[in-house]
A and B are shown apart, each in its own frame.
Chain A
Amino acid sequence: MSAKQEDIELFHSMISRVLDQEIAPYYDQWEDAAGIPRSVWHTLGRAGMLGIDMPEAYGGAAASFEISQLAIEEIARMGFGGLASGYNIHANIVMPYILHLGSDEQKQRYLPAMISGEVLGAIAMTEPGAGSDLAAMRTTAERIPEGWRINGAKVFITNGLQAELVIVCAKTDPAAGARGVSLFLVDTALPGFSRGKGIRKIGQHASDTAELFFSDLVVPEEALLGEAGKGFAYLMQELPRERLGVGAQAIGASEGALALTLDYVQQRQAFGQRIADFQNTRFKLAEARARLEMARAYLDQCIARYHQGNMTPTDAAILKLMLTEMQCDIANECLQLFGGYGYTVEYPISRFFVDARVQTIYAGTSEIMKEVIARSMLGKEAPHR
């Protein structure tokens, strides 16, 4: 066994143990309550689950990127779709933004606190009027002597209700289109910051999804992340990693759904035989396995490329498009094999189904993924009206 594999196995068993002990016994309750207690992030932090691939200097485990993806996959595999999304945002999106773009001071201030779970992170791009259309954003940040004054609103912000830190995308130069966007590290304790009620969804109930409002919110100069006006470029640079994380969620959730179903069809009898002995069942499950193997190969390829620094936005778009669509198909087909039980909350397969549905929407819809892929083949669409 190579050292790398040994590492992976060690982390794998650590991650499984934490999820079994700290999450599994309570997850149904959190789904019912439509939220995860804030203290869970401390628990995950203490267990070493946050910032797995962050440098040791900040309290991270400095493990490989692959292992950080494994954590997401495992959370999703166990059917904790809502937690997987929150985790992906905190540990796999917000932290890398700070690591890649932040000043030493910003890194020192936030990374150790995020790794321990004291600070929960969120990122606010989407706006009520704009959806996946980032260039249409209306939140503004105006330069003032004390720093920046932010006004606007964001929607569908994962971890929005509990976050202590939100990376806010705002226009610093409204006339400059995509080049006028900047990123800010916003401390949510500042006056002028407020949160809407949690947004109720048809799935991922435990994940906290909120509207955020900024009303003459003044942040100091040092809240600017990276350079002013480069926000859009940073988003483009970091989005592939977010999509990789969503891909890891898709693989994990598909594996989890399939495992539950394999178990069920071998126990359950109908019409005098095991469901597993019907050809329809066998072929549906075979199809799922075949798609999963292809998907896993593509995910592994993307992880390797990301590691080498040459995963393209197109690679990430192909990954997110194919894996999340596959996840929805597999959850849908698996639910069907459970019959009426599959529609009840009591059987976890139903949660895999409803949790899956948003995966083809957030972090860029399937349609946006197709547009990204198409542009790599055909260039931008010429305006024709």
Chain B
Amino acid sequence: MTNAVDQQELALFRDSVIKALETEVAPHYEAWEKSGIVPRELWNTLGNAGMLCVDVPEECGGCGAPFQYSVVVGEELARLGFGALSTNVMVHSDIVAPYLSHLGNDEQKQAWLPKMVSGDAVGAIAMTEPGAGSDLQAIRTSAVKGGSDYILNGSKTFITNGQHADMVIVAAKTDPNAGARGISLFLVDTSLPGFSRGRNLDKIGQHSGDTSELFFSDMRVPASALLGEEGQGFVYLMRELPRERLVIGALGVAAARGSLDMTIAYTQERELFGQKLAQLQNTRFEIARMETDYRVNKAFVDQCIRQYEAGELDAPTASMAKYSATEMQCRVADGCLQLFGGYGYTTEYPISRNFIDARVQRIYGGTSEVMKEIIARSVLGRA
């Protein structure tokens, strides 16, 4: 283990995150789920509480904390059953901010990172397109040189934070003939003309998660919006995707903990056939199975977190973390819901939200099938 993080301090930070979430989020979350989006001000609240982009370096407005601190924020959001918000914050803090930190020039970093830390700017990243899904090489959004600017045309879908975003990292083709080598990334200021947002997509879960289509219509962005080098977009995506996948895995593990905790408590209270549900052997064995499933995955994800901090996490291993932990999360949510009987199907019992919120974790950030293909390639080479 390198870069040893003081676990006591980390625990203190965790407590402060929990406290902030209990006051700022818990009382309102159901209302946000009903309205299908969180209020824009929440981002400022989270920023003020020091919960956004916590590993961004101090010179860019962050507190330069180790990566584990950022993971803690996502973990607690997920564990407490705020699945949609955990996704929103992950995209902002653990995907968009690192792209900027790793690839941005000083000017770009100064323009966006301090605002992202404070919550004055919300970040999103736009890779997926209606026709392409997880297949990044098939994207059609184009960025054509027009004088010193680039002109963007195209559309994206399933963009988390799309409604609130002030800045979107857009993957676009600068050379349509060059396949993967023709992709570049742009830091798109959503206040510029030519940018528009579609509706907030209606989903079966993560209801307060803001998920949108985005449209670019002859949108001029200055050359200074190019992130990194032209044509290197695909390489950057491949380089940054492991962190995204690792964090999705960490969210899956934490959400499973939340499901287990509420189910353990329920089975110890609930009487059925003259005894506690927790005394029935099926319940005991189901809890045992799920607790084991949880711990094995947690150990693997924790190991990946240490590897990432040491700069040693490779893409196949990150894919294993996402694949295994999110499948576990869905198994655990499903098994837990069943133990609640009819109540588990009602929105009144939070286990039902854990169940429907979990389902998309195996899809976004690269589906389980894409994860398997990446793992398979590392073992068998290309088909």
| Inter-chain contact A200/B271, CB cutoff 8 Å | no
Point out the residues of chain A lying under 8 angstroms from B294, CB to CB. none
- Does B348 interact with chain A (Cβ within 8 Å)? yes
- Does A336 interact with chain B (Cβ within 8 Å)? yes
> Could you say which of A1-9, A128-136, A218-226, A302-310 contacts chain B?
A128-136
Task: Give the shortest distance, in Å, between B128 (CB) and chain A (any CB).
Answer: 7
Interface hub of B272, B274, B282 (most chain A Cβ within 10 A): B272
Q: How far is the CA of A199 from the CA of B135 in the complex (A)?
A: 41
- Does A360 interact with chain B (Cβ within 8 Å)? yes
- Does B367 interact with chain A (Cβ within 8 Å)? yes
> Could you say which of A228-236, A241-249, A342-350 contacts chain B?
A342-350
Return the CB mask of B336-367 against A: 1 if under 8 Å, else 0: 01100110111110001101100110111001
| Inter-chain contact B348/A200, CB cutoff 8 Å | yes
| Inter-chain contact B342/A156, CB cutoff 8 Å | yes
Q: How far is the CA of A26 from the CA of B282 in the complex (A)?
A: 42
- Does A170 interact with chain B (Cβ within 8 Å)? no
- Does B229 interact with chain A (Cβ within 8 Å)? no
17 more contacts with CB within 8 A, not counting A343-B363, A361-B338, are A131-B272, A132-B272, A199-B346, A201-B352, A202-B346, A270-B133, A270-B135, A336-B369, A339-B134, A340-B158, A340-B364, A344-B203, A345-B203, A360-B338, A361-B341, A361-B344, A370-B282
15 residue pairs A–B, Cβ–Cβ below 8 Å: A126-B342, A133-B272, A155-B342, A201-B346, A202-B204, A202-B347, A270-B138, A271-B137, A339-B363, A340-B158, A343-B204, A343-B360, A344-B201, A350-B204, A358-B345
Point out the residues of chain A lying under 8 angstroms from B360, CB to CB. 340, 343
Q: How far is the CA of A343 from the CA of B356 in the complex (A)?
A: 9
- Does B208 interact with chain A (Cβ within 8 Å)? no
Task: Give the shortest distance, in Å, between B252 (CB) and chain A (any CB).
Answer: 15
| Inter-chain contact B138/A133, CB cutoff 8 Å | no
- Does A365 interact with chain B (Cβ within 8 Å)? yes
Point out the residues of chain B lying under 8 angstroms from A155, CB to CB. 342
- Does B24 interact with chain A (Cβ within 8 Å)? no
Return the CB mask of A348-359 against B: 1 if under 8 Å, else 0: 001101100110
**In chain B between 125 and 177, which residues have their CB closer than 8 angstroms to a CB of chain A?**
128, 131-135, 137-138, 157-158
- Does A188 interact with chain B (Cβ within 8 Å)? no
Return the CB mask of B257-279 against A: 1 if under 8 Å, else 0: 00000000000000111100000
In this complex, what residue of B is CB-closest to A271? B135
Point out the residues of chain B lying under 8 angstroms from A136, CB to CB. 272-274
B346 partner, pick from A200, A340, A367, beta carbons under 8 A? A200
- Does B319 interact with chain A (Cβ within 8 Å)? no
Task: Give the shortest distance, in Å, between A288 (CB) and chain B (any CB).
Answer: 16
Point out the residues of chain A lying under 8 angstroms from B347, CB to CB. 200-202
Q: How far is the CA of A132 from the CA of B364 in the complex (A)?
A: 37
In this complex, what residue of B is CB-closest to A200? B347
Task: Give the shortest distance, in Å, between A326 (CB) and chain B (any CB).
Answer: 14
Return the CB mask of A256-279 against B: 1 if under 8 Å, else 0: 000000000000011110000010
Known: A202-B355, A336-B363, A354-B356. A346 touches B338 (CB 8 A): no
| Inter-chain contact A201/B345, CB cutoff 8 Å | yes
Q: How far is the CA of A350 from the CA of B202 in the complex (A)?
A: 11
- Does B368 interact with chain A (Cβ within 8 Å)? yes
Task: Give the shortest distance, in Å, between B31 (CB) and chain A (any CB).
Answer: 14
Q: How far is the CA of A366 from the CA of B283 in the complex (A)?
A: 13
- Does B249 interact with chain A (Cβ within 8 Å)? no
| Inter-chain contact A365/B341, CB cutoff 8 Å | yes
| Inter-chain contact A357/B158, CB cutoff 8 Å | no
Task: Give the shortest distance, in Å, between A253 (CB) and chain B (any CB).
Answer: 15
Point out the residues of chain B lying under 8 angstroms from A362, CB to CB. 342
Q: How far is the CA of A93 from the CA of B138 in the complex (A)?
A: 52
- Does B205 interact with chain A (Cβ within 8 Å)? yes
Interface size for B (C-beta < 8 A) is: 42
B341 partner, pick from A131, A199, A336, A354, beta carbons under 8 A? A131
The 6 A-B residue pairs whose C-beta atoms are closest, nearest first, are A345-B202, A200-B347, A358-B345, A343-B360, A350-B204, A156-B342
- Does A86 interact with chain B (Cβ within 8 Å)? no
Task: Give the shortest distance, in Å, between A359 (CB) and chain B (any CB).
Answer: 10
Task: Give the shortest distance, in Å, between B220 (CB) and chain A (any CB).
Answer: 29
Point out the residues of chain B lying under 8 angstroms from A366, CB to CB. 338
Task: Give the shortest distance, in Å, between B90 (CB) and chain A (any CB).
Answer: 16
In this complex, what residue of B is CB-closest to A132? B341
B134 partner, pick from A270, A335, A343, A360, beta carbons under 8 A? A270
| Inter-chain contact A335/B359, CB cutoff 8 Å | yes
Point out the residues of chain A lying under 8 angstroms from B205, CB to CB. 202, 343
In this complex, what residue of A is CB-closest to B361? A343
Q: How far is the CA of A368 from the CA of B362 in the complex (A)?
A: 30
Point out the residues of chain B lying under 8 angstroms from A354, CB to CB. 204, 356
Point out the residues of chain B lying under 8 angstroms from A367, CB to CB. 282, 338
| Inter-chain contact A131/B342, CB cutoff 8 Å | yes
Point out the residues of chain A lying under 8 angstroms from B348, CB to CB. 199-200
Q: How far is the CA of A357 from the CA of B342 in the complex (A)?
A: 10
| Inter-chain contact A340/B157, CB cutoff 8 Å | yes
Task: Give the shortest distance, in Å, between B200 (CB) and chain A (any CB).
Answer: 11
Point out the residues of chain A lying under 8 angstroms from B337, CB to CB. 357
Q: How far is the CA of A202 from the CA of B129 in the complex (A)?
A: 28
- Does A280 interact with chain B (Cβ within 8 Å)? yes
Point out the residues of chain B lying under 8 angstroms from A345, CB to CB. 202-204
Q: How far is the CA of A131 from the CA of B342 in the complex (A)?
A: 7
Point out the residues of chain A lying under 8 angstroms from B364, CB to CB. 340
Point out the residues of chain B lying under 8 angstroms from A129, CB to CB. 271
Interface hub of B342, B356, B360 (most chain A Cβ within 10 A): B342
| Inter-chain contact A343/B133, CB cutoff 8 Å | no
Point out the residues of chain B lying under 8 angstroms from A336, CB to CB. 362-363, 367-369
Point out the residues of chain B lying under 8 angstroms from A350, CB to CB. 203-204
- Does A203 interact with chain B (Cβ within 8 Å)? yes
Point out the residues of chain B lying under 8 angstroms from A135, CB to CB. 273
**In chain A between 116 and 166, which residues have their CB closer than 8 angstroms to a CB of chain B?**
126, 129-133, 135-136, 155-156
Q: How far is the CA of A360 from the CA of B337 in the complex (A)?
A: 11
Q: How far is the CA of A278 from the CA of B128 in the complex (A)?
A: 20
Task: Give the shortest distance, in Å, between A150 (CB) and chain B (any CB).
Answer: 22
Return the CB mask of A277-313 against B: 1 if under 8 Å, else 0: 0101000000000000000000000000000000000
Point out the residues of chain A lying under 8 angstroms from B355, CB to CB. 202, 357
In this complex, what residue of A is CB-closest to B383? A279
Point out the residues of chain B lying under 8 angstroms from A280, CB to CB. 369, 372
B345 partner, pick from A126, A272, A357, beta carbons under 8 A? A357
Task: Give the shortest distance, in Å, between B334 (CB) and chain A (any CB).
Answer: 8
Task: Give the shortest distance, in Å, between A210 (CB) and chain B (any CB).
Answer: 12
Point out the residues of chain B lying under 8 angstroms from A130, CB to CB. 272
Point out the residues of chain B lying under 8 angstroms from A126, CB to CB. 342
Return the CB mask of B223-255 against A: 1 if under 8 Å, else 0: 000000000000000000000000000000000
In this complex, what residue of A is CB-closest to B137? A271
